[in-house]
Structure 1
């Protein structure tokens, strides 16, 4: 089974740390975020992983070159242009396409989300994608109906809204996609996965996987990095 780790971002919120290294190589609890993401996927029987690169791309390639994680790893090069989350997946199509679904994960998320549970939910439904979500404070919220199908999105601060209102959850940065999702991608090369889901949800099921009872940490700022390090027993 295949997966992609989104690791190309500039990590601007983590400055000054990311002035000298990519966010993917920031260490927490003695292990880089990238290594944590790879090992989590490996534990879920993922044996082929794509990592996209842009910011300090050479450092990530060097790191992957000197470590053997026991899985096949491909580099999706975005040195020339950042493609946003959706464009990144589209750019890596040659590595991800096949008969099986594939996971896409943000490198800066640490959680105890059960990927096998997400896979089981996928197998029991006709969904085009399964999105890990949870009840938490966030300015951007995904909206679902009572059947947990995606119906909209809203920004709590600006009032901007797309689609319908409904049960609101924050996206957790982990998703499982049907390979047919590539058929629904726009012609342009730079777009977000959220916009893709909202458009695809008009004719197909995009399903929520609610893990509100589990643990989840976003390592997006120095403050959150400190908090996560403390939670993992390191200060």
Structure 2
């Protein structure tokens, strides 16, 4: 049986973090301290436990702070490749921008670096390998923004209500997903683009092309407000 493990993860670290100003005026949001260490290291720890052995991190705002935080371009012995974006490319553009770094990878875990979670990643890996979708999203059934719809077979049938298809359940997108390398052919180099429009087009063409799995186990925090950050900054107890 093929081992359900993915070697490389792409951590989205290039955002401006405007919702956490003034803390992010001179610091990338994923480097803000939680329990005395950079927020992004919780993501790295989570991914390492799932078998990831290489990190790619995109940078933009205060990119030099990443070099200071990881002077050896490693974390806990795992290599980190930083890819700078002089112009922010958004999620889809950022994924396309690392295509040349994926010569030996068939697929990739993409992870928002400003979330803190210990949700189990095994169900996401299992769903991706068994569902054979080109992209598979980790979802939760509760949260502030339930704008991903899934059908009765667990395939994503709408995002952001663009297709007016409520499916059987509305879910929160957890900010973690798996993409096959073939997905990158749908993206245009240099284009500033969210991942959502290409996913919508895929759903229109093939109702089974984007999978989803609801994972309600574990904790999940989006560090999107100063209040949320201040609640967690002393540390995580799980």
Output the TM-score relative to the length of structure 2. Answer: 0.88
Work out the number of aligned pairs and report it. Answer: 227
2:4 alignment counterpart: none
Alpha-carbon distance in structure 1 between the residues aligned to 2:233 and 2:62: 23
Of residues 54, 74, 79 in structure 2, which corresponds to 1:72?
79
Alpha-carbon distance in structure 2 between the residues aligned to 1:176 and 1:37: 15
Query: RMSD of the alignment, in Å?
Result: 2.0
Does the 8 Å CA contact 1:86/1:193 hold for their aligned counterparts? Answer: yes
1:209 alignment counterpart: 213
Of residues 88, 92, 95 in structure 2, which corresponds to 1:86?
92
Alpha-carbon distance in structure 1 between the residues aligned to 2:188 and 2:157: 19
1:144 alignment counterpart: 150
Structure 1 position 66, deviation (Å): 4.4
Which stretches in structure 2 are left out of the alignment for 5+ residues?
1-6
1:21 aligns with 2:23: no
Structure 1 position 100, deviation (Å): 2.7
Alpha-carbon distance in structure 2 between the residues aligned to 1:115 and 1:73: 21
Q: Aligned in 2, Cα 1:17/1:99: closer, same or farther, shift over 3 Å?
A: closer
Alpha-carbon distance in structure 2 between the residues aligned to 1:104 and 1:174: 6
1:109 aligns with 2:115: yes
Alpha-carbon distance in structure 1 between the residues aligned to 2:126 and 2:171: 21
Describe the SS at the equivalent of 1:124. helix
Does the 8 Å CA contact 1:24/1:60 hold for their aligned counterparts? Answer: no
Which stretches in structure 1 are left out of the alignment for 5+ residues?
156-160
What do the CA deviations read for 1:105-143 (whole angstroms, capped 9, x no partner)? 001111112223321221212111110111224346011
Q: Which moved more, 1:135-144 or 1:39-48?
A: 135-144
Describe the SS at the equivalent of 2:216. coil
1:195 alignment counterpart: 197
2:137 alignment counterpart: 131
